[in-house]
Amino acid sequence: MKITRVSAQGYSAPVAVPLWTAHEAMKAAFDIIVTVETDAGITGHGHIHTGPIPEVVEWVGRLGEMILGRDARAHMAVWEHLFSLTSPRPGAWEGRGGEPKPLPRPARPQIMAAIGGIDIALWDIKGKAAGMPVWALLGGSGEPVPAYATGGYYRPGGSDAVYAEELAGFVAKGFRAVKLKAGGETVADDARRIGAVRRAIGADVALMLDLNAPYDLTTAIAAAHAFAPHGITWLEEILHWHATAQDWARLAAASPVPLAHGEREITRLPVRDLIDAGAIRFVQFDATRAAGFTEALRIGRYAAEKGVLVAPHTMPEIHAHLVSALPGHGYIVEAHPDDVRDPLGHVLFANRPHLTKDGRWPLPDAPGFGLEIDWKSIERWRVA
């Protein structure tokens, strides 16, 4: 089964209400859809959540040209080939032997995102060729997996009551775990806001905090102790972006709340270092942001060997297959149930799964990732 064509198209839906993390404004929900076609008539789709959209789309096209004619089922070989192009090889600098020149260092995030989108599409093809969903290919049970809802993005003039009501609304929809944005105000102000949310959702609902890298080590330790009395499941991305695995390990030793990290890494290797340092309890690598399903599966299996739980970042339609394949170690998937935050995601698939009554994300029986893209609904958001 040979690859005959690789293409990508970006979509961007503006967010109607101004939303902020501690780091940046959320102005749009976007998705880059990668399409891989084969000579067997089987087509796979991948998804990318990294920008800028035009640059990533261009890299998908360039890398796609390099894998035409390869076996679409050989996802490992394709991944390793494309990844090898990011490093020097003998004679490649002058194009000796037809070797492509090393891909540019400044574009690595976009290149790894493009590799990831192609890889996800190949897994979709692999499942379709076998007539099996991806979770079944990996030996998963196919039972619905736990899911949590993310919200509480900062809004200009938003009161504690606004955020509390929002997350309580997720609980009313069936979620038994919710995640609140934090880190954008003083530790004292955020602790008060967290307390309001906890009272609104009740004591038996898991509450996670996503801080988007606001603190140095000293402040992070203080914040962990300030937030802990509210029964927090994890502290996510609490240290500055430049913190090392050693910094995370020091925080883990001092924090009364477990740590979660890894969504912004673009290969398995920094995640391995965090796990080996004993720095994190939950690993959040995102297959749609970089490197794809193959790399996410490697991370998931390594985490399972080390007793670390897997809680992938966003896109449960893809990541639920991974969580299902790691029984006892696949912990939970993340969802955005509010179409204010994710207007695109709510219409992207014609057969989008619906949360079960006990707050779990169902897995499809259809082959591949089991997703039917609703091209008509998303056409209005196509990026030229």
Residue pLDDT, tens place only, 267-317:
999 999 999 999 999 999 999 999 999 999 999 999 999 999 999 999 999
How many other CB atoms are found less than 10 A from the CB of residue 142?
A: 14
pLDDT at 209: 98
**pLDDT score of 94:** 72
Q: Does position 114 have pLDDT exceeding 90, yes or no?
A: yes
Token output for 127: 């499942």
Q: What is the mean pLDDT of residues 83-95?
A: 84
pLDDT, residue 97, reads 66
Residue 219 has pLDDT above 70, yes or no: yes
Say whether pLDDT at 16 is over 90.
Answer: no
Q: How far apart (Å, rounded) are the C-alpha atoms in residues 248 and 213?
A: 12
Q: Does domain 3-131 have CATH number 3.80.10.10?
A: no
The pLDDT score that the predictor gives to residue 349 is: 96
Confidence class of residue 337 from pLDDT cuts 50, 70 and 90? confident
Model pTM greater than 0.85? yes
157's CB contacts (< 8 A; 6+ apart) are: none
- Indicate the DSSP class of residue 363: P
Residues 18-52 pLDDT 10s: 899 999 988 999 999 999 999 999 999 999 999 99
Residue type, 195: G
Lowest mean pLDDT among 29-33, 99-103, 226-230, 354-358: 99-103
DSSP string, 322-353: HHHTSTTTB--EEE---TTT-TTTTTSBTT--
* C-alpha distance from residue 139 to each of 123, 133, 316, 324, 367 (Å): 14, 10, 18, 8, 14
Average pLDDT (141-151) is 95
- Count H helices and E strands in the chain, helices first: 12, 12
Q: What is the DSSP letter of 20?
A: E
Residue found under tokens 């379709």: 128
Residue 17: pLDDT band by 50, 70, 90 thresholds? confident
Tokens of 77: 């070989």
C-alpha–C-alpha distance, residues 182 and 77, integer Å: 41
Measured in degrees and rounded to the nearest 5, phi and psi for residue 335 equal -130, 155
Domain spans of the chain, in order of start: 3-131, 136-381
Q: Which CATH superfamily does the domain covering 136-381 fall into?
A: Enolase-like C-terminal domain (3.20.20.120)
* Average pLDDT value for residue range 256-262: 97
- For residue 8, what are the β-bridge partners? 34
Q: Which of 269, 313, 242 is nearest to 49 (CA)?
A: 313
Residue 338: which pLDDT band, with cuts at 50, 70 and 90? confident
Paired residues of 6 in beta bridges: 36
Q: Which of 152, 156, 160, 205 is nearest to 180 (CA)?
A: 152
Residue 244 vs residues 5, 215, 307: alpha-carbon distances, Å = 40, 13, 21
Encoded tokens for 22: 């501690």
**What share of the chain in percent tops pLDDT 90?**
88
Q: Average model confidence (pLDDT) for the chain?
A: 95
Cis peptide before 54 (omega within 30 of 0): no
SS3 81: helix
Q: Are strands 25-38 and 43-48 parallel, antiparallel or unpaired?
A: antiparallel
> Rounded CA gap, 275 and 212, in Å?
20
Q: For the segment 232-257, what is each residue's pLDDT rounded down to a tens digit?
A: 999 999 999 999 999 999 999 999 99
Structural tokens at position 294: 């193959």
**Residue 79 near residue 115, CB atoms below 8 Å:** yes
> What's the average model confidence in pLDDT over 350-371?
94
Q: First vs last Cα of the chain: how many Å apart?
A: 31
Closest to 166 in 3D by CA, of 200, 117, 207, 208: 200
